[in-house]
Structure 1
Amino acid sequence: MPVISAPHAFNEGQLYVDLQPILGRSLYLKCEGFNFAGSIKLKAAIEMVETAEREGLLSQDSILIESSSGNLGVALSMIAASKGYRFLCVTDSRCNLSTRLLMEALGSEVQVISDLDSNGGFLGARIDYVRALCASDERYVWLSQYTNPGNWQAHYRRTAPEIARQFPRLDVLFVGAGTTGTLMGCARYFREWQRPVRIVAVDTVGSVAFGGEPGRRMIPGLGMSMRPPLLDESFVDEVVRVEEADTIRACHRLARRGFLFGGSTGTVVSGAMEWLAGHEKDDLTAVAIAPDLGERYLDTIYQRTWLEDLYGDQVLGVDQDLDSEEVAAGSPGAERVSRTPDRHREP
């Protein structure tokens, strides 16, 4: 039994859920929510904070500041409380109420931005606010998850090797795309690995991360209203884009079998099911990364009034009664984009 003295010292990295009995296709879901921050963002947060400490960028007078839709903000709140720093999270109105309350319970300040940027999202406005504060007071230290190499290095050093140890015959990896830190870290690692692994990025419809038209996005976590500075598409084989309604349905399918996951996980699972439906003749070992759990989404994607107000009263509808064979057919609303389809294939 581990005994720890700092909350970030514990992070379970080897728990997987076999989704075959639930969704009818072979897919292993790597669960990243079992730590005191509750998400995969703990890895990037630790890497960025401790790098800043080693480089002498932080003192006890420093105020950490970061733009976050939620999970990184919680991870930084936890680390700041543990290490004795102040922390200000700049988020927006899509951030779950429970997430904001959790950051405040950990002693952090939360600033909610309501102004939209030129792409119809909040990210540009959040970043402008951060930059203005940093220019006004030298105590602010912006870790900048969007450009900080520690974001992807955390997953190159930890997440990808964890998967490789458990699945030495891995064929395809599904990774949600937000800042693309997880995506780039895992993709870089498996580019250098002993066997080819197809990297499939899963994005949400309305995100402009891989191009395309911006659109409304109400579920925090995945998607960007600007091109992610960390993204290098040469490491990505394919992109699958998922409608938010399909994200919600995937979350509810899993919840009906006792697995309560967050919105990002629903998006990744929905995209993976659609991709696997088009490769049903292949005998593939497939893994998807689940960034967090679902408790923070109880007042949004698991709350019927919220769902019906935003997506209509048929967003779940008869889908509540789908069996595993129907679910396995994939999500008809998902869009697949091939990047380098023949780079990673072997008999």
Structure 2
Amino acid sequence: MIYQTAESINDGRAFLKIDEFIKNNSVYVKIENMNPGGSIKIKTAIALVDAAEKNLDLKNKKHVIESSSGNLGIALSIICAARKYNFTCIVDKNTLPHTIKVMKAYGAEVIIIETPHPERGYLGARLDYIKKRLVSDNSLVWTNQYESSANREAHARLTARELLNEFPVIDYLFIAAGTTGTLMGCVQTVTEATPATKIIAVDTKGSVIFGTPSAPRYIPGMGASVLPPLFDSKNLFDMVQVSEKETVQTCRLFARRYGFLVGGSTGTVLTAIRDYSPKIPAGSVVVMISPDGGERYIDTIYSDEWCLQKGLLQLQSSTSRNTFSGAVVE
């Protein structure tokens, strides 16, 4: 059967070296969009389903329910289809229409939450919906990416080891924060293997993960309106937040300057590296993870109409060498 183990999907050797983005250093990007489903989340999905089969009687109940902003939903749709389970994904209005269509193509049921929780945002509303469904339907199995240790362990065992196999010495490692499974898994393994590595967690402004107030966010894939139970800042060297407007600028700049079409999380982390670069000594090994590609963001991050509607672009009459689609990168 396909997708039986996470080790079978990717040998983890896809890296891109980017020169002349920050002064005195190259940036090495671990590319995860060549995995099935187009993102790093296939590793998480396999681990979550494995754990549910082992601990939650999934093989008998045969119906998975999960909340997702996008990539995990696609990954779980794939795994559930391959293992002959029903899958219900709870998303919200910020989930990309393309993502919803892909999940449905794999046979998933998709429930869209239209109204955010007054204090805990769309994520809080999605989680409340799941909890109500679990009470009314005991055939459902919640994989719970937000609390399951399988989320963290998948990346401790796979993603972190893939990084270290390529770079035995990493000076600075930048990782996006969402459920923080990837982040915490890498922290677990990397800090044990190479204690000198400085791990920088990156989040988007408006997210509560780093203890800042919640605010509206429009780009799915990172950040949270509810503090992730997996998150622990103890072994982090630093934490950086980036505005969604900066993310849009960086994504578009990379497409035009480097021929690298990146997703929102990747653009956010690249922005953080650029802003942090004055603190990074020359000759450092700087590594980051790119969770997915930019193709599924064509109608959002790369759409002037959508970005203007969300207040993420400001058209200017002046131009510079970094001009794209009517907006200017400073």
Scaled by the length of structure 1, the TM-score of the pair is: 0.87
Q: Secondary structure at the match of 1:289?
A: strand
Q: Is the 8 A contact 1:12 1:35 kept in 2?
A: no
Query: Shift of the alpha carbon at 1:164?
Result: 0.5
Q: In structure 1, how many angstroms separate the alpha carbons of the residues matched to 2:112 and 2:308?
A: 24
Q: In structure 2, how many angstroms separate the alpha carbons of the residues matched to 1:93 and 1:317?
A: 33
Q: In structure 2, how many angstroms separate the alpha carbons of the residues matched to 1:183 and 1:321?
A: 35
Q: Which moved more, 1:139-148 or 1:295-304?
A: 295-304
**2:58 paired residue number:** 58
2:133 partner amino acid:
L
**2:262 paired residue number:** 261
Q: Give the gaps of 5 or more residues in structure 1.
A: 324-330, 333-347
**2:278 paired residue number:** 277
Q: Is the 8 A contact 1:200 1:238 kept in 2?
A: yes
- Pick closer, same or farther for the CA change 1:319–1:159 going to 2, 3 Å: farther
**1:228 paired residue number:** 228
Query: Shift of the alpha carbon at 1:278?
Result: 2.9
**2:28 paired residue number:** 28
Q: In structure 1, how many angstroms separate the alpha carbons of the residues matched to 2:291 and 2:232?
A: 21
Q: Which moved more, 1:268-277 or 1:142-151?
A: 268-277
Q: In structure 2, how many angstroms separate the alpha carbons of the residues matched to 1:95 and 1:240?
A: 24
**2:14 paired residue number:** 15
Q: In structure 2, how many angstroms separate the alpha carbons of the residues matched to 1:271 and 1:52?
A: 35
State, as a whole percentage, how many aligned pairs show the same letter: 40
Q: Is the 8 A contact 2:245 2:312 kept in 1?
A: no
2:77 partner amino acid:
S
Matches within 5 A, 1:1-347: 5-6=2-3, 9-22=8-21, 25-55=25-55, 57-119=57-119, 121-256=121-256, 257-279=258-280, 281-311=281-311, 313-314=313-314, 321-322=321-322
Q: Is the 8 A contact 1:245 1:315 kept in 2?
A: no
- Pick closer, same or farther for the CA change 1:92–1:175 going to 2, 3 Å: same
Q: In structure 1, how many angstroms separate the alpha carbons of the residues matched to 2:178 and 2:55?
A: 26
Q: Is the 8 A contact 2:56 2:141 kept in 1?
A: no
Query: Shift of the alpha carbon at 1:61?
Result: 3.9
- Pick closer, same or farther for the CA change 1:196–1:305 going to 2, 3 Å: same
- Pick closer, same or farther for the CA change 1:306–1:120 going to 2, 3 Å: farther
Query: Shift of the alpha carbon at 1:181?
Result: 0.4
Q: Is the 8 A contact 1:99 1:296 kept in 2?
A: yes
- Pick closer, same or farther for the CA change 1:319–1:298 going to 2, 3 Å: farther
- Pick closer, same or farther for the CA change 1:64–1:308 going to 2, 3 Å: same
Q: Give the gaps of 5 or more residues in structure 2.
A: 324-328
Query: Shift of the alpha carbon at 1:319?
Result: 7.5
Deviations 1:22-78 (A, max 9, x none): 555421111111112111111111111112223362125421000000000000000
Q: Which moved more, 1:248-257 or 1:215-224?
A: 248-257
- Pick closer, same or farther for the CA change 1:262–1:12 going to 2, 3 Å: farther
Q: In structure 2, how many angstroms separate the alpha carbons of the residues matched to 1:282 and 1:151?
A: 35
Deviations 1:236-287 (A, max 9, x none): 11001000011111111111122111111111111111112332x4431010
How many residues of Structure 1 are paired with residues of Structure 2 in the alignment? 321
Q: Secondary structure at the match of 1:321?
A: coil
Scaled by the length of structure 2, the TM-score of the pair is: 0.92
Q: Secondary structure at the match of 1:59?
A: helix
**1:340 paired residue number:** none
2:238 partner amino acid:
E
